[in-house]
């Protein structure tokens, strides 16, 4: 996950600091997305205009001028529009150039990833790996205030001592080797269950940049429009990026064509159908799917998986037969109902579904497994129960 220094002593010190900070390792862009959702990524060639607009903001150098640099970019859009996929792409681009200071992907009902408890420590741990010169200052802060990582400590104090001040100290001593701004990516801020903490984070961040307008640091924040976020970020000190204003039809067309092409290369039944009947799906099919999907990447992905999933004894239908069924479905609800109906024969199906229905608060897959005293090994939850896991994952993804 981290770019460790080659010197053994430095490496040992950095490892000790990481262990002391106890970050959430599966909160960053490098996590295993299948195990730690959201599992979304941009299809090659898609979202290029949106990404270029974000890069233009992130790459803007600080110069002495009448127009101050805007340090914060709030990227918002409706559920399922592809925000997390774009956040991932931005994180990967700037990690590749050495300018990603940290990334954090919130996810509802995912333990500490859905709270602010370890947010600052996780950012600090990633920063220490990217800019090793910050490590001594983080260590000094922990030694000076031994309770800094204990529950109940102010989030703003943690951010100040563990992230902002160490970064500034390394900059002031000339230990940061680039003049270009660094980037912190925060995705799914609306997924954080600690609304008070979210407000504190935003207020403190904006205040920090007001006090330090020339610092080479940017925050890219992606979320849905929720009042406690909108009321803070909808101001002149923030760049507003509305994903809903960008038509996704061409990108969804590229995604569908690439996905069906890949499926045709692997599925003998589809191959045989194409040899006998010509192109599938046809251009007309794709156009109807695009119109039906209405700009939702999560719906596009879920419909595609529904169409190409393998046949079973209970449902021997083919991808060619399921495509017109998908066009008749009214959004995700009908698709979930159809998939659930095909999954009733799977082991633990009734126990799992009844548990989900009766839960007072939603739980991740591992939490449900513990409640049912089931194994949470991949063999139970991915094969042959892949469709059931898909329903659980898609239900969560539809909130992104």
Each residue's pLDDT tens digit, 340-393: 777 787 777 888 888 888 887 777 666 777 788 765 444 444 433 434 444 444
- Of 118, 87, 117, nearest to 103 (Cα)? 87
Give me the pLDDT at residue 8, please. 54
Question: Cα 340 from chain centroid?
Answer: 26
User: What is 8-245's CATH topology?
Assistant: Rossmann fold (3.40.50)
The answer to whether the beta carbons of residues 101 and 166 sit under 8 Å apart is no
62 vs 60: CA distance, rounded Å: 7
Mean pLDDT of 229-258: 95
pLDDT tens for residues 196-243?
999 999 999 999 999 999 999 999 999 999 999 999 999 989 999 999
Contact 304/256 with Cβ under 8 angstroms? yes
- The pLDDT of residue 330 is 76
Tokens, residue 391: 């329903």
pLDDT of 13 reads 67
Q: What is the DSSP letter of 191?
A: G
Judge whether 56 and 376 are in contact, CB under 8 Å: no
- How long a stretch of residues is the chain? 400
Q: Where are the domains of the chain?
A: 8-245, 248-328, 348-400
Per the prediction, the chain carries an average pLDDT of 87
pLDDT of residue 37: 87
Residues of the chain above pLDDT 90, percent: 64
**Is 192:106 a contact under the CB 8 Å cutoff?**
yes
Mean pLDDT check: name the lowest of 17-31, 34-48, 60-74, 214-228.
60-74
Q: Where are the alpha helices (DSSP H) in the chain?
A: 8-21, 48-58, 83-96, 119-130, 135-144, 155-159, 165-172, 195-211, 227-233, 249-266, 268-277, 283-293, 297-308, 319-328, 331-342, 349-358, 365-371, 378-382, 386-397
Mean pLDDT of 63-74: 75
Reply yes or no on whether the pLDDT at 40 is more than 70: yes
Could you give phi then psi for residue 386, rounded to 5 degrees?
Answer: -60, -35
Q: Number of C-alpha atoms within 13 angstroms, CB side, residue 302? A: 33
Residue 384 three-state SS = coil
Q: Which of 9-13, 136-140, 299-303, 331-335 has the lowest mean pLDDT?
A: 9-13
Residue scoring higher pLDDT (160 or 331): 160
283-293 helix and 319-328 helix, angle to the nearest 10 degrees:
40
CB within 8 Å of 126: residues ≥ 6 apart: 2, 23, 28, 101, 102, 103
Tokens of 129: 């790996």
Tell me the CA distances in angstroms from 238 to 125, 188, 220, 269, 388, one per residue in order. Answer: 26, 17, 10, 52, 41
pLDDT in tens, 174-201: 998 777 899 999 999 999 999 999 999 9
H helix runs in 149-194, sequence order: 155-159, 165-172
Q: pLDDT at position 358, please?
A: 86
104: nearest Cα among 287, 93, 115: 115
Residue 265 has pLDDT above 70, yes or no: yes
Smallest Cα–Cα separation from 302: which of 398, 188, 400?
398
* Percentage of the chain modeled with pLDDT above 70: 87
Confidence of residue 110 (pLDDT cuts 50, 70, 90): confident
Residue at token pair 């998939």: 339
Handedness of CA 245, 302, 268, 279 (dihedral sign): negative
Helix 386-397 vs helix 349-358: crossing angle, to nearest 10? 20
């Amino acid at each position: 996950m981290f770019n460790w220094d080659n010197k053994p002593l430095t490496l040992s010190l950095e490892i000790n600091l990481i262990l002391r900070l106890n970050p959430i390792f599966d909160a960053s862009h490098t996590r295993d997305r299948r195990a730690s959702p959201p599992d979304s990524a941009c299809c090659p060639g898609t979202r290029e205009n949106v990404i270029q607009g974000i890069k233009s903001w992130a790459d803007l150098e600080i110069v002495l001028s009448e127009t101050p640099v805007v340090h914060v970019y709030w990227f918002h859009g409706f559920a399922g529009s592809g925000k997390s996929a774009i956040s991932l792409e931005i994180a990967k681009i700037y990690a590749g150039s050495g300018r990603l200071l940290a990334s954090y992907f919130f996810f509802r009902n995912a333990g500490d990833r859905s709270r602010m408890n370890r947010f600052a420590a996780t950012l600090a741990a990633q920063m220490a790996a990217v800019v090793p010169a910050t490590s001594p200052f983080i260590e000094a802060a922990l030694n000076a205030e031994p309770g800094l990582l204990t529950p109940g400590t102010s989030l703003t104090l943690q951010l100040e001592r563990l992230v902002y001040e160490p970064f500034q100290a390394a900059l002031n001593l000339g230990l940061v080797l680039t003049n270009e701004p660094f980037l912190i990516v925060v995705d799914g801020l609306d997924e954080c269950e600690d609304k008070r903490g979210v407000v504190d984070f935003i207020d403190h961040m904006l205040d920090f940049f007001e006090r330090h307008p020339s610092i080479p640091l940017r925050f890219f924040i992606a979320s849905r429009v929720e009042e406690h976020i909108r009321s803070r970020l909808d101001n002149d000190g923030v760049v507003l990026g509305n994903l809903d204003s960008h038509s996704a039809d061409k990108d969804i067309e590229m995604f569908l064509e690439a996905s069906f092409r890949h499926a045709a290369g692997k599925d003998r039944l589809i191959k045989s159908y194409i040899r006998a009947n010509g192109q599938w799906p046809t251009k007309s099919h794709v156009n109807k799917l695009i119109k039906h999907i209405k700009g939702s990447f999560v719906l596009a992905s879920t419909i595609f998986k529904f169409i190409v999933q393998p046949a079973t004894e209970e449902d021997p239908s083919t991808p060619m037969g399921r495509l017109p069924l998908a066009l008749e479905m009214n959004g995700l609800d009908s698709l979930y109902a159809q998939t659930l109906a095909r999954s009733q024969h799977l082991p633990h199906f009734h126990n799992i579904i009844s548990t989900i229905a009766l839960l007072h608060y939603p739980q991740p897959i591992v939490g449900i497994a513990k409640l049912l005293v089931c194994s949470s090994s991949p063999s139970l939850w991915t094969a042959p129960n892949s469709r059931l896991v898909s329903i659980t994952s898609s239900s969560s993804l539809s909130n992104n």
